[in-house]
């Protein structure tokens, strides 16, 4: 692992090493908070990259190091499909993690993908407002994020209305490239988190990662670049292939 001396960018030789480091951070972060708070909130990323992290968390030695009864799992975004659909982020996390650890069912807060997307977004916002009662914005203890090849994160796509949303916590949106309806947490929600981690792997993301981490003056700002925590910590965990042009 190498670290950019002036930044929060951590480069791992392989995706497996990156996944191990992310699982370790999850364990350390939740352990640090264990004594201080009754419940710990984590917003998970969908897509392929974090799947291995979730599998590792459901495997020893990680599994037993997490006090699962205190952990509340949320989702940064969801595809508008039923929870057993192959595109469902919930289905992926359920298979890799939830079904394999002793987490109470009430601690798993899935975004409903089936049915009316706007109603489901409003319902998820209501659920978040109950959990984060009294706060102007949610304050997630940990957020995992991925980066798409177009520079999107969660389901905040370039030039979308969702990206400009500054009052709602959760909105319906659409992945125009795939023609797929989505629901996503909004930018201010992510930017009020305590700690965020981007996980990025693969050669296909190398060019975009370079543009994101070494921006040219005047270049258009991509969604991932708008993740700038107000009072929180942001880390980039990337593998050598993704980092090859940085
Ligand atoms: C999703 C995401 C999305 C994802 C990126 C990267 O639901 O698809 O949350 O933002 O993180 O598209 O996806 P991969 O890890 O599959 O490359």
Q: Please, what is the average pLDDT of the chain?
A: 96
Q: Which atom of ligand 1 is nearest to the CA of 155?
A: 10
What's residue 143's pLDDT? 98
What's residue 33's pLDDT? 87
In whole angstroms, what is the distance from residue 140 CA to residue 234 CA? Answer: 13
Q: What percent of the chain has pLDDT over 70?
A: 98
| Predicted confidence band of residue 5 (pLDDT cuts 50, 70, 90) | very low
Q: Which atom of ligand 1 is nearest to the CA of 152?
A: 10
How far away, in angstroms, is 61 Cα from ligand 1 center?
27
Contact indicator for 76, 184 with CB cutoff of 8 Å: yes
How far away, in angstroms, is 149 Cα from ligand 1 center?
9
**Residue 192: C-alpha distances to residues 141, 143, 195, 231 (Å):** 10, 10, 9, 7
Contact indicator for 151, 223 with CB cutoff of 8 Å: yes
How far away, in angstroms, is 49 Cα from ligand 1 center?
7
Is-cis flag, bond preceding 61, omega within 30?
A: yes
Write the pLDDT tens digit of every residue in 205-216.
999 999 999 999
Write the pLDDT tens digit of every residue in 140-187.
999 999 999 999 999 999 999 999 999 999 999 999 999 999 999 999
- pLDDT at residue 192 tops 70: yes
Q: Which atom of ligand 1 is nearest to the CA of 156?
A: 10
Q: Which atom of ligand 1 is nearest to the CA of 145?
A: 11
For ligand 1, atom 12: residue with the closest CA? 148
What's residue 35's pLDDT? 79
Q: Which atom of ligand 1 is nearest to the CA of 89?
A: 7
How far away, in angstroms, is 192 Cα from ligand 1 center?
21
pTM attached to this predicted model: 0.96
Retrieve residue 137's tokens: 């914005």
Write the pLDDT tens digit of every residue in 32-76.
988 788 899 999 999 999 999 999 999 999 999 999 999 999 999
- Any residues with Cβ below 6 Å from ligand 1, and which? 45-49, 76-77, 89, 146-148, 152-154
How far away, in angstroms, is 45 Cα from ligand 1 center?
7
Task: Provide the 3-class DSSP secondary structure of residue 21.
Answer: helix
């Amino acid at each position: 692992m190498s670290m950019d001396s002036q930044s929060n960018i951590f480069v791992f030789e392989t995706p497996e090493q990156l996944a191990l480091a992310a699982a370790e951070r999850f364990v350390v972060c939740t352990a640090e908070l264990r004594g201080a708070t009754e419940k710990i909130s984590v917003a998970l990323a969908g897509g392929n990259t974090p799947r291995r992290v979730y599998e590792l968390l459901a495997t020893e030695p990680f599994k037993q190091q997490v006090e699962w009864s205190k952990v509340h799992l949320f989702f940064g975004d969801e595809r508008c499909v039923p929870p057993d659909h192959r595109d469902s982020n919930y289905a992926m996390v359920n298979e890799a993690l939830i079904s394999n650890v002793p987490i109470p069912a009430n601690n798993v807060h899935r975004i409903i993908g089936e049915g009316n997307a706007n109603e489901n977004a409003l319902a998820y916002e209501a659920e978040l407002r109950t959990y984060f009662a009294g706060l102007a914005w949610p304050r997630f203890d940990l957020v995992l994020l991925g980066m798409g090849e177009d520079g999107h994160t969660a389901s905040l796509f370039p030039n979308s209305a969702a990206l400009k949303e500054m009052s709602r916590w959760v909105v319906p949106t659409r992945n125009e490239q795939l023609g797929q309806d989505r629901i996503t947490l909004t930018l201010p929600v992510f930017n009020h988190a305590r700690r965020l981690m981007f996980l990025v792997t693969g050669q296909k993301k190398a060019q975009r990662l370079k543009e994101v981490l070494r921006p040219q003056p005047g270049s258009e700002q991509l969604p991932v670049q708008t993740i700038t925590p107000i009072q929180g910590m942001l880390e980039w965990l990337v593998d050598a292939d993704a980092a090859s042009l940085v």
